[in-house]
A = this chain, B = another copy of it.
Amino acid sequence: MPSASPSRKLKSQRVTLREIADAAGVSIATVSYVLNGRGAISADTRQRIRKVVKKLGYRQNQAARAMKTGRTAIIGLVFPNIENPFFSSLARSILNEAEVNGYQTFLVDTEGSHDRERKVVAGLLEHGVDGIVWFPVDDHDTLAGAGVDVPVVVLDRELSGQDLVQAEYYAGGKAAADYLTALGHRRFGLIEGPQDVGNARERSRGFVDALGDESMLAWRTEHAYSMHLSAEACGRLLARDATAVACGNDLIAIGVLSTLASGGVSVPDDVSVVGFDDISFASMISPTLTTVRMPFEAMGRQAVRLLLRRLAEEKEGPRSRITLGVELVERSSTAAPKAV
């Protein structure tokens, strides 16, 4: 055996419970108690320990803690694309609410891929996340049967059997239509978001239903998952056979504004444009965009709270569905149509 070296300490420079206990002349149990506010510890020892903790710069080792408690105080956030301002706004509010509740958040980007959804969630599970907030790529439940054994809250998608937080898409579409018809518009164009997800379909449905008279819809086209408008959409737009165009989301609307501008069509004089979401850019561009505001802040907050509630109590029990209100924000991309 090697000679017993007097100098140890070569290992981890991180201060442990043991060292605190020694320095304070108590047992590690006692230190643990005061750190976690458990047990009955005299004010005296409590103070002494607190002092040592501070002096030595002790930090709890959450990994060790997790091994005993089975809880990591980590949640996973699974998003399709954080570069999209819609998602980053939502992510921000989730991050914030998680932190307020003492949770760290793993953020993973699925890049719109089902395969990646499975893969990244597996990684999350290895790290023992206590729960997951998931914004699925589309309405497909890629996690079904993937052995996810922690609570999951789904955002904005329609997956059966999952806790859900969403917004009033249908009402939002309706609000846009009502607003436009109240302004006097009678000939509409509609550029929908990708119709493979329920919320985009609902937005469209709300809009079209509210129009009532089908003949008022001059044209309707779907926008693919890409930055720029389709040739069809551009043609429709510049043909000017509608006095107002509704867009499935603000990104589309910004593309529309851009196309219209380069085509020499004036907004809102020649045509009105309304978006959906109210991403931060909607109020920064020119003209500022009339749009239907998504409750980002509230959605993120509710999603985290719902998750934490599952963690704390009702592991089982009926699925919750929280639906939050939307609101039309009037800006300068809309106006009454010019008199014919």
- Which A positions have Cβ atoms within 8 angstroms of B? 12-14, 57, 59-64, 66-67, 70, 72-74, 81-83, 85, 88-89, 91-92, 95-96, 99, 104-109, 120, 122-128, 147, 149, 227, 251, 254-255, 257-262, 280-281, 283-288
Q: Cβ of A63: which chain B residues have Cβ within 8 Å of it?
A: 63, 66-67, 72, 127-128
Beyond the given pairs A99-B123, A105-B106, A107-B107, 7 more chain A to chain B contacts, judged by CB atoms under 8 angstroms and listed by A's residue number, are A12-B70, A60-B126, A82-B88, A82-B95, A92-B109, A104-B124, A285-B285
Q: When the two chains form their complex, are residues A254 and B83 in contact, meaning their CB atoms are under 8 A apart?
A: no
A303→B62 CA distance, assembly (Å): 26
Q: How many copies does the complex hold?
A: 2
Q: A149-B14, A284-B251, A284-B258 are in contact. Are A62 and B92 (CB under 8 A)?
A: no
On whether the beta carbons of B261 and A61 are closer than 8 Å, the reply is: no
Q: Which residues of B have CB within 8 Å of A92?
A: 81-83, 109
- In the complex the two chains form, what is the Cα distance from A107 to B92 in whole Å? 10
Q: Which residues of chain B are near A251, meaning CB under 8 Å?
A: 284
A64 engages B67 (CB within 8 Å): yes
Shortest beta-carbon distance, A283 to chain B, in Å? 8
Hey, which chain B residues are within 8 Å of A62, CB to CB? 126-128
Query: Which of chain B's residues have a CB closer than 8 A to the CB of A57?
Result: 147
Q: Sort A-B residue pairs by CB-CB distance and give the 8 closest, nearest first.
A: A258-B286, A261-B286, A107-B107, A88-B88, A63-B66, A62-B127, A63-B63, A57-B147
Instruction: Note all chain B residues with C-beta closer than 8 A to A91.
Output: 82, 107
- B59 engages A125 (CB within 8 Å): yes
Distance in angstroms from A297 CB to nearest chain B CB is: 11
Task: Say yes or no: A281 contacts B281, CB within 8 Å.
Answer: yes
B106→A104 contact, CB < 8 A: yes
Closest B residue to A120 by CB, please name it: B99
Judge whether B255 and A74 touch: CB under 8 Å: no
State A109–B107 Cα separation when bound (angstroms): 12
Residue of B nearest to A77 (CB): B107
Query: A14–B127 Cα gap in the complex (Å)?
Result: 12
Chain B residues near A82 (CB, 8 Å)?
A: 82, 88, 91-92, 95
- For A261, the chain B residues whose CB sits under 8 A away are 286-287
Q: What are 30 A-to-B residue pairs whose CB atoms are below 8 Å? A: A14-B149, A57-B147, A59-B126, A60-B126, A62-B127, A63-B63, A63-B66, A81-B92, A82-B82, A82-B91, A82-B92, A83-B88, A83-B89, A91-B107, A92-B109, A95-B107, A95-B109, A104-B124, A105-B106, A106-B107, A107-B107, A227-B280, A227-B283, A227-B284, A254-B284, A255-B284, A258-B284, A258-B288, A259-B286, A262-B287
